[in-house]
Amino acid sequence: MSNEDPPGVDLTRLRAYLDRQLPGTVTGPLAARLVEGGRSNLTYVLDDGTHRWVLRRPPLGHVLPTAHDMGREHRVISGLHGTPVPVPRAHLLCTDPEVLGAQFYLMDFVEGSPLRTAEQLRPRGPERTRAIADRLVETLVELHAVDPEAVGLGDFGKPDGFLERQLRRWSKQLAASRSRDVPGIDELFERLAARVPTSAAPAVVHGDYRLDNVLVGEDDRINAVLDWEMSTLGDPLTDVGLLLAYSRLHELDLDAVSDVGRAPGHPSPDELVETYAGASGRDVSELGWYLGFALFKLAVILEGIYYRFRSGQTVGEGFDRIGAGVGPLVELGNAAVKEK
């Protein structure tokens, strides 16, 4: 690990700040490295030769604090620490932009690996893969069982009208990214809007719950749930729908997304639902709608990336192929809603 400043972290300023706020915590020369693979907020591992921590901050050049609110991430993991949901212990939140140019927070470093591909799961074998997937679902059940009021998160979101607001939000995102005709996407939105389910009691919702947003230990246990930037209070089945969508993406052969669902031993979508329903006791009869909504969201996200690529606003390997995945997502989403 380097003692040179990585992009977005001035180690001299950071060390001075930590010495003031957490005296005696850092005991040696401070080093940092940027963790590759993050798509939004930036993650760094800090090391003083004896201890390690993780620092999270918004993207460089970011000017809209509400879209990358470090305070929300810090608040939710602070609230969940001590519950059955495994999260790193948060140490501090810095809201002073003079330190690193943006707000940030510091938390414990937790051992484990985010598993994004079937190839990463393959060495563990079918039985261990099944156990990991089951524990992923069981951890989601634990999250949705947390009483928001009891952990200081009773005002963390506005659950009334949550699904309607989500639909409007993603419809606006689609309108902002339109550059071509996408067959079926308007029909998918109309089907979803016409049949919005009645939500059960609200819960803490992760917002992007999947296998590569948790850390899995060598013992196949879930050591920490990460990346809480989309978390809020809302309908817990939106998390389940998105988890199911990710488990089916391998059917579309999209190399830009996770393909863990094709790993030997990984449960089928129906088995994931059975595990969640059995452990949570929740009514999952409307889950086709939630899967359709999750696939609509993913289609809008990919279309936005493709739009920015075509407009010259982003570069990188694979972006030219992103657009080809939108149609299959829409087709799968329409099928999911029709199946209900």
- Has residue 257 been placed in a domain? yes
Instruction: Single out the residue of 116, 64, 34, 40 nearest to residue 305, CA to CA.
Output: 40
Report residues of the chain scoring pLDDT below 50. Answer: 38, 62-66
Structural domain count of the chain? 2
Among 81, 108, 135, the domain boundary falls at: 108
Please give the single-letter amino acid code of residue 304: G
Among 54, 74, 108, the domain boundary falls at: 108
pTM (two decimals)? 0.92
Backbone angles phi, psi at 171, to 5 degrees: -65, -40
Tell whether the torsion through CA atoms of 251, 255, 259 and 263 is positive or negative.
positive
For the stretch 57-104, pLDDT in tens is 988 764 444 455 899 999 999 999 999 999 999 999 999 999 999 999
Neighbours of 320 (CB within 10 A): 12
Residue 59's domain comprises: 11-108
For the stretch 27-52, pLDDT in tens is 999 999 998 754 568 899 999 999 99
- Has residue 161 been placed in a domain? yes
- The confidence score (pLDDT) of residue 61 equals 62
- The confidence score (pLDDT) of residue 62 equals 43
Among 76, 108, 140, the domain boundary falls at: 108
Q: Are residues 101 and 126 in the same domain?
A: no
Q: Are residues 101 and 134 in the same domain?
A: no
What is d(CA 162, CA 141) in angstroms, rounded to the nearest whole number?
Answer: 20
Please give the single-letter amino acid code of residue 110: V
Q: For residue 330, count CB atoms less than 10 angstroms from its CB and return exposed for 0-12, middle for 13-18, buried for 19 or more.
A: buried
What is d(CA 257, CA 322) in angstroms, rounded to the nearest whole number?
Answer: 10
Beta bridge partners of 225: 214
Q: Which helix (H) or strand (E) holds 136?
A: helix 125-145
Please give the single-letter amino acid code of residue 268: S
